[in-house]
Amino acid sequence: MEINSASTSRSQISTRDGASEQQRRSLQIQNVLVPLDFSAPSLRALEFALPLIKHLGADLHLVHVFATDHPFSGLVGMPFVLPELEISRSIHKQLKDVAQKYSIAIRPDNLHTIKGRAFEEICRLGRDTSIDLIVLATRGNTGLRHLALGSTAERVVRYSSCPVLVMHGTKPAGGVPGFHKILVPVDFSECSTQGLAYAKAFAKHFKSKITLLNSVHFPYYVASDEYGRFDLPRLTQDAEIFARDQMRDLFEKTDWHGLEVETSLQSGHPGQQICEHARDSDVDLIVISTHGSTGLTHLLLGSVAEYVVRHAHCPVLVVPARLSELQIHPTKQE
């Protein structure tokens, strides 16, 4: 439910474009990692990522993580070396074949075959190779089911130290993804402010329109007496007024660098409101931030970010809190 949409939703182009070069921020994505399990969804994620990577001028990394069980114990002293080496070589050839199929010019060092738990190795590789963005699908052979807690995709989102772009099963039509409309949920915390900074850089690069969305929600209300329930409408109204004031301050005090920005206040479950608004407004991308150094680790299953990752109809870009300054840099002087 939208709160007084006529007065709280607005679309306008910021005229505060006189910031210094030091204040201007732009997107710098130099290394993109695409995990592959050779399933159709993971290949679609690669197809989705390729024009984006070309547009950004970034280097592509491909990784496949395998787990092996060895039922035999022969060859005393090295029972696992030969099989794992053969598996690694076979997978490396498969990665090369995929690169050739899609006419990808990729350095041999950027093809990674690793044994271990998928999400752990993907996140470790992301840190060790200074990956700026991970692109993956929500479904695949290794349990990338968007309704399964603990799936590879969800765990990568939880533990990744860099932003993760989660693609939701739609096959790209070709060309650079059209991120014309970007939805940015905000709760006015420092965490969401960092997510907004990344979204601004992304929107500036792709000349996108930004919608800021905040949802006022009281998950539980316990009255101590029979008259307490009459306080809920007043509490809700006060919360809406407070959210409206915060949204106005955020809009007026932020330098938008000429971007077109719209604000919207909603009432209801934040995750549901975000997904419904994205679908109803034909949003191309949701940029949402997570709390804490390990993303969604300490939050409940029903957290807003995790809900959105599971249920959004469009790609979701998850920005971890305390994002390294390596991902957003001052623009070069033109």
Is 68 contained in some domain?
no
Is 162 contained in some domain?
yes
Q: What's the whole-number mean pLDDT along residues 98-104?
A: 95
Is 267 contained in some domain?
yes
Dump the DSSP string for 32-48.
EEEE--SSHHHHHHHHH
Is 290 contained in some domain?
yes
Give phi and psi for 211, each to the nearest 5.
-115, 120
Contact status, residue 285 vs residue 30, Cβ threshold 8 Å = no
pLDDT at 323: 59
Alpha carbon distance 304, 288 (integer Å): 9
Count of structural domains, the chain: 1
pLDDT band at residue 226 under the 50/70/90 scheme:
low
Q: Is 252's pLDDT higher than 90?
A: yes
Q: What's 1's DSSP letter?
A: -
pLDDT at 141: 45
**What b/e string do you get for 58-81 counting C-beta neighbours within 10 Å, with b at 16 or more?**
bbbbbbbbbeeeeeeeeeeeeeee
Query: Higher-confidence residue: 303 or 25?
Result: 303
pLDDT at 223: 52
pLDDT band at residue 86 under the 50/70/90 scheme:
confident
pLDDT at 31: 97
Helix runs in the chain, H state only? 5-8, 40-56, 81-101, 118-128, 152-159, 190-206, 231-253, 270-280, 304-311
Query: Higher-confidence residue: 76 or 30?
Result: 30
pLDDT tens-digit series, residues 119-173: 999 999 999 999 999 999 876 444 444 444 347 888 898 889 999 999 875 555 5
Q: At what angle do helices 152-159 and 118-128 cross, to 10 degrees?
A: 40
Is 101 contained in some domain?
no
The whole domain housing 160 covers 1-57+116-334
Is 215 contained in some domain?
yes
pLDDT tens-digit series, residues 288-311: 988 644 444 444 334 788 889 888
Give every strand in the sheet of 285-289, ordered side by side: 10-13, 260-267, 209-216, 181-185, 285-289, 316-319, 164-167, 133-137, 31-35, 59-66, 111-115
Query: What mean pLDDT is reported for the chain?
Result: 78
Is 64 contained in some domain?
no
pLDDT at 245: 94
| CATH code, domain with 222 | 3.40.50.620
pLDDT tens-digit series, residues 163-195: 999 987 555 555 567 799 999 999 888 888 888
Torsional sign, CA 299, 305, 311, 316 = negative
Q: Is 18's pLDDT higher than 50?
A: no
pLDDT tens-digit series, residues 264-292: 999 888 999 999 999 999 999 999 988 64
Torsional sign, CA 136, 141, 144, 150 = negative
pLDDT at 224: 55
Q: What's the whole-number mean pLDDT along residues 235-263?
A: 90
Q: Is 7's pLDDT higher than 70?
A: no
**Burial of residue 174, with CB atoms counted within 10 A of its CB: 0-12 exposed, 13-18 middle, 19 or more buried:** exposed
Is 166 contained in some domain?
yes
